Structure formats: structure tokens, C-alpha cells
Homo-oligomer: A and B are copies of this chain.
Amino acid sequence: MSSIAPSSARQVRLMARTGVLSGPTANLASGFVQANLAVLPRDLAYDFLLFCQRNPKPCPLLGVSEPGATSIPDLGDDLDIRTDVPRYRVWKKGVLVQELQDVTEIWREDLVTFALGCSFSFEEALLAAGVPVRHIEEGRNVPMFRSSIETTPSGVFSGPLVVSMRPMLPEQAIKAVQITGRFPSVHGAPIHLGDPETIGVNDLATPDYGDAVTIRPGEIPVFWACGVTPQAAIVRARPDFSITHAPGHMLLTDILNNRLSI
């Protein structure tokens, strides 16, 4: 996908819709907010919405569809939830049953779509401020860990807070706190920095999700609440049916990253 760098979110959606794009969305349509996707039956929507409200750092809601609706107008005029993500995962009772590029065939009238903020937005702000982001430098996925911090449950949704980790020098960590604190709708300020064992992370070299990255002398690990948290909560809740994006294959929205800054 390295040769493709469309200038707008709408173009990326169109590429996904027409099957041209089936790969990850990192670095595509830079400047635009990318969203995690969670699609659930209406009868679980209240519990999940309340789970997001109770755990806003891992579950920062950008938009919620009407039941059965295939669009979320606030996120993009032409947006079609069924086709505009390059790769979907379909889950039944907490088991991954299918990966699809288009979920039109399996769409149901009772589905509610939740779009949640993702760290791509604040990483762009970090890079713009000269704070290096190691996994981007190293061309890897961000390392993620199940922490010992529990989310506040809501109905069937519960489980550990999953955190992403970015190593940096203390002075960079201070800057990163200030920068990401201005972006509460994409996870906000870190939830921890320094000793990983404080939050139940015992080995930074073996992440639970994503890839390990180099930690250089003098650097400390900085941990942010991660959008894998709600996905893991959904898997754990074992709903009869649900759809998510495949990791790294996000929904491009027309919202500008800059607009999320407070």
C-alpha cells in the first residue's frame, strides 16, 4: 500500500468501498481522524454505551448510529458503515468467524455502530511537536498490554484495561502528557508512566497485542488507555453477533485531528 497516499478521508473510504484498499490505514489521509468500529445488536447497545461512558479513556466515543442505520452523518456525508472499512472482523459468541472486506450481505436491521477515537490522532500531534513515536520509527504495530487495572463494568461488558506503550525520554514524556491531554476524545493523557509492574505489566518485550519495540537507555515507558479495551470486552461478553474493524484497518472520518484538540 506504500504507493497509495490519498489526500482525503473520503477517497480512502471510496477505495475501501470499491475493494481497491484492503490493507491497514496507518498514514492514509493524514490529518483526518481514524476510528475504531464496534457494531452490536440493539439489545446490547445500552450496556455498551454505558461501558463507554464509564470508561472514557479507553472508549472515547466519536459517534453512534441509529439502529440499523448504515451511516453516521457526523463522521462523513457519504459514509457507509458496511463497506468503508478495508477489513472487518465478524464475531459470534466471542469467536472470530470471518474476515470480510464488505459486510453488506450480513448486515442486520438491529445493528448499532459505535465509532471510537484511536491513537493515530494523538500520534500525529506528538510527531508534529517533535516527540518521536518508536513503533512508527521502527515500522511496527504499537505494543499493547493487558494491565491489572479493571475497567468499570456495565452489564455484560467488563475486563482489564488494555494499554498501549510508547518509550520516550522523561522530557519527551512530559511534553507527551501535555499534548495528549488536549485530546480527550482519542484516549487523552497517559494513564501511567515508569515502572510497568505498577499496572501489572511484567515484560515489555512480550506484548499481548502488537509488536515489541526498542527501549533505549534513559527512556521510560509511557502507557495510554487503548482502543483494544472495548474490543476485548466485547469478545469477553460473547454476544451472539458483532462486527469490528480488523486491527489497523480503521474507519476514516471527515473529522480533522486538529478539531479534537481542546
By a beta-carbon cutoff of 8 Å, the part of chain A in contact with chain B is: 45-46, 49-50, 52-54, 61, 64, 181, 184, 262
Contacts and interface: CB of A to CB of B under 8 A. Distances in A.
A64 B49 CA distance: 11
Contact of A50 (B54, B64, B181, B262): B64
Contacts of A52: 53
Contacts of A64: 50, 53-54
B46 A53 contact: no
Contacts of A53: 49, 52-53, 61, 64
A45 to B, nearest CB: 6
A81 B46 CA distance: 21
Given A61-B53, A64-B50, A262 B184 contact: yes
Contacts of A54: 64
Nearest to A63: B54
Interface hub of A45, A46, A64 (most chain B Cβ within 10 A): A46
Contacts of A49: 46, 49-50, 53
Contacts of A61: 53
Contacts of A45: 46
A262 B46 contact: no
Contact of A46 (B46, B181, B184): B46
